[in-house]
Amino acid sequence: MPEVTIKDIARICGVGVSTVSRAINNHPDIRPETRQQIQRVIEQYGYIPNNSARNLKRTESNGVAVLVRGITNPLFNSIIKVLDIELKKHRMTMILQQVDYEEDEVAVALELTKEKRLKGIIFLGFNYYHPEGELDKIKVPFVLGTVGAICGDENCTLYSHVAVDDLQESYRMTNYLIRKGHRDIAILSAEEKDSSVGKLRLAGYLKALEDNGISPNTHLIIPFSDIGEPYSMTNGYAATQKLLKSGQAFSAVYATSDMMAVGAYRAIREAGLKIPEDISVAGFDGVEIGDYLQPKLTTMLQPVEEIGETIFRQLYDLMNGDCGNKNLLFQGELLEKESVRELVHI
């Protein structure tokens, strides 16, 4: 969509260009209702006022904004390193922006485009569902990294995605635990209403149970608490404590991030139980910390370098006029370590 001009704003509002200019510059000689109407249209179309645009043109930028929801996640840190290398190769500058979990990343992106003349935007940890047309307000090329299209969403093919196949790889991890003899498998994940990777990983878990003739036990689906970041050690610890106190029987815990698995380890040990003798634990992501746990964590490794490089290539193609939006999903690698034991059923 072409960049909106002050003439477009004036035409939409049914006023003159000078009236729009006075509204933008807070001149007193304009009716409040007209000012409010103009402001609404400016926000709706993501218009950058002329004075800001002039300043941006004076300092043409080669910056690419990387908006990260969950910046403490080691997985994102690894992808950011890959992106930084690729951007430097192409003489671009990374503008790293943290997005809090309660923030709207699209609003943050729109604000950044007003402040800086960006070449593109990369989203990491994206909250997929936004009001219809919201993403269309972003006037620079962008790629949604680390989140695949949610099946059934009518907009899933409209934008470029690069991610591990969260649903399929979560299915594989759950199926692996079932093959090891586990049937009472608890999952530390998001609620079904979640609109991030949590929804896909939970769906993969449920599908694996179904395909193996196991009825899901809702008491073994432990959603995030509101303590700290969703996929953090803190949340993994709190969720596992809740699970242990529930009295529900289970032989394995599937944490949908390795950092949650770290928290689960602590809660299990504090309860006087051993891993994997009493409870098996599996994670997801394949971050380095898993190899420093005792026992080493069985996990699903995400191909971080390939994902990071592909995110950049997607964005680079978009910046150079290739508008073929793609949904690229990668396979993970199931790393069988020491935290899952095989059950023998008599």
pTM exceeds cut of 0.85: no
CATH 1.10.260.40 residue spans of the chain: 6-57
pLDDT band at 148 (very low <50, low <70, confident <90, very high): low
Average pLDDT over residues 260-287: 97
Closest CA to 122 of 107, 137, 136, 109: 109
User: For 221-250, what is each residue's pLDDT tens digit?
Assistant: 998 776 667 889 999 999 999 999 999 999
| Contact predicate 182/251, CB 8 Å | yes
Residues written for the chain: 346
Dist CA 136 CA 158 (whole Å):
10
Q: Tell me, what's the pLDDT at 224? A: 79
Q: Is 339 left (phi over 0), alpha (psi -120 to 50) or beta?
A: alpha
Pairing assessment for the beta strands 252-255 and 185-189 based on DSSP bridges: parallel
Q: What is the architecture of the domain spanning 60-165+304-330? A: 3-Layer(aba) Sandwich (3.40)
Average pLDDT over residues 298-315: 96
| Contact predicate 188/250, CB 8 Å | no
Dist CA 268 CA 13 (whole Å):
62
CATH 3.40.50.2300 residue spans of the chain: 60-165+304-330, 166-302
Dist CA 50 CA 6 (whole Å):
7
Q: What is the architecture of the domain spanning 166-302? A: 3-Layer(aba) Sandwich (3.40)
* The CATH homologous superfamily of the domain defined by 6-57: lambda repressor-like DNA-binding domains (1.10.260.40)
pLDDT band at 134 (very low <50, low <70, confident <90, very high): confident
Question: Is it the case that residue 72 has pLDDT exceeding 60?
Answer: yes
